[in-house]
Structure 1
Amino acid sequence: MSFFLGPVARYCGVGGVLHQITRRSPSVKVADLPGSLPLANISDTVDCVAVAQKCLAYLSKPESNHFAADAIWRDILAFTGNFRTFYGSDRITSVWRQHCKKGTTFTVHPETAQVARFGPSIAWVQAAFEFDVSSEPARSCAGIVSLVPGDEDTWKIWMLRTWVENLQGCANVDTLRPRVPFAERKEEVGDFECVVVGAGQGGLSTAGRLEALGINYILLESNAAIGDNWRNRFDSATLHTPRNMAQLPFERTFTSETYSQWLSKDELADGYNKWVNKYGINVLTSTTLKAARWDDQLRIWTLTLRCGAEEKTMKTQHLVLCLGAGSQIPSVPSIPNRSAYSGEMLHSVAYKSSQNWTGKNAIIVGTGNTAHDVLEDMLSANLASITMVQRSPTYVIAQDRIVPLLEQLYNDTIPIELADRIDKTAPICIGSALTKLGLAAATAHEPCRYDDLERAGFKLDRSADIMDLLYIRLGGHHLDKGVSREIAAGKVRMKSDAEPVEFTSSGLIFSDGETINADVIIFCTGFVGNMREMAADIIGGEAADRLEDFWGLDSEGELRGAYKPLSYPGLWFMGGDCSMARFYSRFVALQIKACLEGQPFKS
């Protein structure tokens, strides 16, 4: 008997009604969010445990004066049942009293109590704690409290972070034992409680969490093999961030004994394959989701799948779309007379290698990470000339400067799950302020590195906020592995003073009247960046119009449309870089599990 004949109480919705979004949340910049780092001098002799215990006791019956005036509280499902950030002592006190039941006990982990210092005048006392929430779904939770001195030897709560750890009575979402690979179990494929689409880092992480919670799920991948989403990229593709940021859930996938610090595309594909086989992830490859239709009466998604030449249908209560934070729909500027160009032209999504272009002339449109990767390839292939077209100033971060900052948390010593909790639970505005502080200190010692780039015609945005670029633009920056020195040395021509306005048979005409001829033109101009637009091809345009946009920050500083219920019941957007996918997948899985148990989180 199909489990779909069970009670509709298993449906996760708001009052059992399908809600329509009439106005989507506008995206805000990080600079428009409240919040700043505290200026405080704290002695090394302070009793951090005593301070933390005293301030956590305030939370049983909080008053506004228990919090700093500019206090911040970020909650991930623990109390509010959602992803929320609150600012200011009065607002936090009001919301806390509304959601926190009397009698909640907060237990400090004494070994975590310490003074956190960031420079001579920025410091606070912080400690980790745990607590339980008895309202449905009953859950075990954790948090970090950050405290600053007040008047007359008092202490105030400056930053509070709370999140759900696990659902009580359920398996641990962070623990999964190895088992027989799915392909060897010969299980019959039928209907599922959850279907996950896309086996990149988001889909794999979500599938692993669902497996850990005992949810009946399947992971669909359009490519022929796990890891092809990386394996099919250009030949020299590597991650720009250290290996430990790319780990999948549970044990470390990419160990220092086996994998390099800068994971190549083939190393990533290899690690993904081994992880899927190790944990027996339920996956169907060479399978494309063509359409999904929601039945509002049965509370079921009916999926139409293309499996090779065969078409199949499948039913599920929950559908998680992991189609890439950038949606993988190429964004190419509209330039007139495109058909006139007789050379080779492609978007970076189709780029493989420059080795066949030795001695040719090339134009690269774009100055982000991918554009510089292509440039590095072209320099190695000894092209006759390379012109890099820059349409807007670019934020450049030296890889050798930012990596030591990242490795303070993401290294071979600190458990990945602990690093994620410290890093990913922080409010965006505070993460931004700390990143700016660290990068300013790291780059202050070599101003000539950036001055030389500007002298070569490369336009720098020295004041950009990396959090804006990651959480709003989904790019627009360059993590420099060294190729910027080639630009500064004049080995690349920068065209940053005019826009391309028309194709010719042999190249591009620019707005200043100059024509640049090229045998090859590569558009490294990114992707559309809104998964809702890809969802429209699957669930239909009218249905997609009811959804929140995907990515960008709302007025509280939380990601729009990501990791939380959408206006269609049982539909979820999942995305982000490797570390975000790993961390936030646990919350998507926990919400789905709660829905299936008939006890959805209530916001």
Structure 2
Amino acid sequence: MPAVVENMFDMADMVNPPLTYGPNENDIPASKVYGNLTPNPKILKENNLLPIANIWLSEFKDVIKNRNFNNLDKLIASHSAWKDHMCLSWTFHQWYGLEKIKSNLTERVPNFDLSNIEIDKDADYRFPTGVSLQTVHHPSNHNPVPIEWVQVYIKFKTKYGTGRGLLRLVSSDEKDSEFNGGLRLFTIFTTLDELYGNEQQLGERRPLGVNHGQHVGRVSWLERRKKSFEYGGDKQPTVLVIGGGQAGLSVSARLKVMGLDSLIIERNQRIGDNWRKRYSFLVLHDPVWADHLAYLNFPEIWPIYTPKDKLGDWFQNYADSLELNYWTNKTVVVKIIDNDSKEVSILKPKHLVMATGHSGEPNIPHFKGEDKFKGKIVHSSQHSTGKEYNGENAIVVGSCNSAHDIAQDFYEQGATVTMVQRSSTCIINAEKGAKVSLAGVYDQEGPKTETADMIAMSMPYKLMNLVHQQHFRRACTLEKDMIQKLTAKGFKLDSGYAGTGMYGKYFRRGGGYCIDVGASKLVADGKIRVKQGVEVERFTEDGVIFKDGSRIDNVSIVVLATGYSNMRNTAEKIFGEKVASKLNEIWGLDNEGEFRAIYRYSGHPNFWYAGGNLTIVRYYSRLLALKIIAQERGMIENLED
């Protein structure tokens, strides 16, 4: 059992809090936002936001320019946090507390030369001044003051490129209010956007596409395109990307648009087959606004939830439209082998990106007697449809996204299905709870995708925990009836780590949750049976016996929705133990609240990991591309910082 901590708000201060089994029941305490400041919400009037934000920013710019960091005492709250993605280092950091921030600015600003900080009025069409008031809770018996902050979009320059960011400023009634506009910094986020000399070839920088005039021996676009796929010998890719899914495509697209050559190696016959080959009725559980790929949004007619085959076709179209270089039907085993001709290609890239899926290889447990079982045992990654099992018994081992989808498919195809839930699951409904977390960011009324990503990624982990707690609390209110019905059926629910729900689980382990699209009602109605808290003991010729002695007979198929192993295992399989032994843990958060190794230093020079859902890969692929290019240009002295 996880450790018991009575106050969930105390757990919000932990990078990796314990698992809990119910929502946080209270609003965010004022002390978590205002610290020891005395709030002065009266100054936060709509027509006053821009002037007071300008006063604060003017003083802040002066401190940064003159490097007189002691004056930050009047501008930054003692409990504040600075989250930085490659503007003040070449990696990801979160610094907590005024003294820690001052120390890092003293050390890093001279090397990275943060300057030209301005309000970005083009970031969000909803707030043309670049400044807005964001209210989480209105005054209540729990909090006599509102839980709110002034949100300010910023843009700036560094020694190496341009960046964007987001400020959260809280009202303060301290004696130095004239100096800082009555505001103190609560959180700041800074992220590198472009490198000088490798600016993204977009908009007015887009390629001409033709060379007008007379050119003897002119070569057509199609001929050049075919030639671009040829590698080997004197022509070597700077970056070899293993995997042509969303991560591989996104990294390759970022590198191309920034001017660096890459080649994707995909083991399937076509780009997009990693989605096409999954179970037949799979549809993305995140809405379209969260799922755009970099540089090429889905069209306005695109459905809110994307069918997996439609997404696979889009991936192929994406690779061709962006003129990415890829080899399909190839297997990397140190050398590259054509799966049909068995021809071997030798490539010598400078960098290698593992983009085979952040979860790695299918995790396939084995059981006593499985060789005697006359039915079918498959991992969820191998399952297609339950159509052939009408009128028969099916078992799904697991209780997260894939397990729910597959169990629903079996039911709809006329099978009798039992879901084996071994531990607990965090469930959130796609139409109710999930929309709470995405509202105002990834929805029809939200800002442009790049700004939405910045908002989503801008929260340091302590604030992220607090906000996720409130989102899950609201989701539980909306889904109260279903929660009661699932519990009554013996399905064990959890609320994620410290009540942060599904998103807290995703960022820390990449699993353990389900975005419900219909299966929960089938469980609640008893149409999908649940066997909770037991493991499979052994197989018989026609069924399964569990460790509690119970059994299910006359079983035709068992689907193991048991997840995936660590991507490091895939690296070891391809490159051997010598390489894998140097690689760091991939998923989860480090002691500052940032991803451990994915999209950053892996432990092995020039070896990088990329993976995650479409939102994650869209945002972090840019940073990885910038890091690789900066290293190629000799800007980086220390890969770990």
Q: Same fold (TM over 0.5)?
A: yes
Q: Contact 1:242/1:403 (CA < 8 Å) preserved in 2?
A: no
Which of the residues 518, 524, 532 maps onto 1:482? 518
- Tell me how far apart the structure 1 counterparts of residues 202 and 460 of structure 2 sit (CA, whole Å): 23
Structure 1 segment 251-270 matched on structure 2, within 5 A: 251-252=296-297, 254-257=298-301, 259-270=302-313
Q: Contact 1:181/1:280 (CA < 8 Å) preserved in 2?
A: no
What RMSD in Å do the two structures reach over aligned CA positions? 2.4
- Tell me how far apart the structure 2 counterparts of residues 386 and 399 of structure 1 sit (CA, whole Å): 23
Deviation at 1:232, TM superposition (A): 0.9
Deviation at 1:279, TM superposition (A): 1.3
Question: In the TM superposition, what whole-angstrom CA distance separates every residue of 1:247-285 from its partner, at most 9, and x where no partner exists?
Answer: 111131x2231x211101111012112211211111111
Q: Secondary structure at the match of 1:115?
A: strand
* 1:87 paired residue number: 96
Amino acid across the alignment from 1:362: A
* 1:324 paired residue number: 357
* 2:408 paired residue number: 376
Question: In the TM superposition, what whole-angstrom CA distance separates every residue of 1:153-182 from its partner, at most 9, and x where no partner exists?
Answer: 442211011111111122227668587579
Which of the residues 390, 400, 403 maps onto 2:421? 390
| 1:239 and 2:284 matched | yes
User: 1:456 and 1:177, CA in 2 relative to 1: closer, same or farther beyond 3 A?
Assistant: farther
User: 1:524 and 1:572, CA in 2 relative to 1: closer, same or farther beyond 3 A?
Assistant: same
Deviation at 1:457, TM superposition (A): 1.4
Question: In the TM superposition, what whole-angstrom CA distance separates every residue of 1:107-159 from its partner, at most 9, and x where no partner exists?
Answer: 2235111211112121011211122112xxx2112211111123244422110
- Tell me how far apart the structure 2 counterparts of residues 441 and 407 of structure 1 sit (CA, whole Å): 12
| 1:123 and 2:123 matched | no
* 2:120 paired residue number: 109
User: 1:501 and 1:161, CA in 2 relative to 1: closer, same or farther beyond 3 A?
Assistant: same
* 2:551 paired residue number: 515
* 2:85 paired residue number: 76
Deviation at 1:480, TM superposition (A): 0.9
Which of the residues 127, 145, 151 maps onto 2:167? 145
| 1:421 and 2:438 matched | no
Amino acid across the alignment from 2:614: C
Which of the residues 178, 191, 194 maps onto 1:163? 191
* 1:315 paired residue number: 348
Question: In the TM superposition, what whole-angstrom CA distance separates every residue of 1:339-373 from its partner, at most 9, and x where no partner exists?
Answer: 22221111111100000000101111111010010
Q: Contact 1:174/1:209 (CA < 8 Å) preserved in 2?
A: no
Which of the residues 609, 615, 623 maps onto 1:573? 609
User: 1:208 and 1:108, CA in 2 relative to 1: closer, same or farther beyond 3 A?
Assistant: same
- Count the aligned residue pairs: 556
| 1:133 and 2:142 matched | no
- Tell me how far apart the structure 1 counterparts of residues 306 and 108 of structure 2 sit (CA, whole Å): 44
Indicate the percent of aligned positions where both proteins have the same amino acid. 28
Structure 1 segment 365-514 matched on structure 2, within 5 A: 365-383=397-415, 385-401=416-432, 402-412=434-444, 414-462=447-495, 464=497, 465=500, 466-514=502-550
Amino acid across the alignment from 2:362: P
User: 1:596 and 1:425, CA in 2 relative to 1: closer, same or farther beyond 3 A?
Assistant: same
Q: Contact 1:42/1:124 (CA < 8 Å) preserved in 2?
A: no
Deviation at 1:497, TM superposition (A): 4.2
- Tell me how far apart the structure 2 counterparts of residues 30 and 105 of structure 1 sit (CA, whole Å): 38
* 1:271 paired residue number: 314
- Tell me how far apart the structure 2 counterparts of residues 311 and 557 of structure 1 sit (CA, whole Å): 43
* 1:196 paired residue number: 241
User: 1:497 and 1:204, CA in 2 relative to 1: closer, same or farther beyond 3 A?
Assistant: closer
Which of the residues 571, 581, 596 maps onto 2:632? 596
- Tell me how far apart the structure 2 counterparts of residues 181 and 393 of structure 1 sit (CA, whole Å): 54
Q: Secondary structure at the match of 1:512?
A: coil
Q: Secondary structure at the match of 1:377?
A: helix
* 1:20 paired residue number: none
Deviation at 1:313, TM superposition (A): 0.2
Deviation at 1:103, TM superposition (A): 7.8
Amino acid across the alignment from 2:563: G
User: 1:455 and 1:197, CA in 2 relative to 1: closer, same or farther beyond 3 A?
Assistant: same
Structure 1 segment 29-48 matched on structure 2, within 5 A: 29-30=16-17, 37-38=32-33, 42-43=41-42, 44-45=44-45, 47-48=48-49
* 1:5 paired residue number: none
Amino acid across the alignment from 1:438: H
Q: Contact 2:496/2:504 (CA < 8 Å) preserved in 1?
A: no
- Tell me how far apart the structure 2 counterparts of residues 181 and 262 of structure 1 sit (CA, whole Å): 34
Amino acid across the alignment from 1:109: D
Amino acid across the alignment from 1:129: I
- Tell me how far apart the structure 1 counterparts of residues 493 and 201 of structure 2 sit (CA, whole Å): 43
Worse overlay, 404-413 or 552-561: 404-413
User: 1:41 and 1:370, CA in 2 relative to 1: closer, same or farther beyond 3 A?
Assistant: farther
Deviation at 1:30, TM superposition (A): 5.0
When normalised by structure 1's length, the TM-score is: 0.87
Gaps of 5+ in 1: 1-26, 292-302
- Tell me how far apart the structure 1 counterparts of residues 347 and 420 of structure 2 sit (CA, whole Å): 47
Gaps of 5+ in 2: 1-13, 20-28, 122-128, 139-145, 210-220
Q: Contact 2:598/2:609 (CA < 8 Å) preserved in 1?
A: yes
Deviation at 1:421, TM superposition (A): 1.3
| Greater RCO, CA 8 A, separation 6+ | 1
Deviation at 1:559, TM superposition (A): 0.5
Deviation at 1:334, TM superposition (A): 4.1
Amino acid across the alignment from 2:149: W
Q: Contact 2:114/2:157 (CA < 8 Å) preserved in 1?
A: no
Q: Secondary structure at the match of 1:400?
A: coil
Q: Contact 1:166/1:173 (CA < 8 Å) preserved in 2?
A: no
User: 1:352 and 1:103, CA in 2 relative to 1: closer, same or farther beyond 3 A?
Assistant: closer
| 1:172 and 2:200 matched | yes
| 1:54 and 2:55 matched | yes
Q: Contact 1:553/1:559 (CA < 8 Å) preserved in 2?
A: yes
Deviation at 1:186, TM superposition (A): 2.6
Q: Contact 1:48/1:126 (CA < 8 Å) preserved in 2?
A: no
Q: Contact 1:289/1:306 (CA < 8 Å) preserved in 2?
A: no
User: 1:31 and 1:504, CA in 2 relative to 1: closer, same or farther beyond 3 A?
Assistant: closer
Q: Contact 1:30/1:429 (CA < 8 Å) preserved in 2?
A: no
Amino acid across the alignment from 1:171: E
Question: In the TM superposition, what whole-angstrom CA distance separates every residue of 1:536-594 from its partner, at most 9, and x where no partner exists?
Answer: 12222022111111111110011011111333221111111101101111111111111
- Tell me how far apart the structure 1 counterparts of residues 563 and 487 of structure 2 sit (CA, whole Å): 23
User: 1:273 and 1:84, CA in 2 relative to 1: closer, same or farther beyond 3 A?
Assistant: same
When normalised by structure 2's length, the TM-score is: 0.82
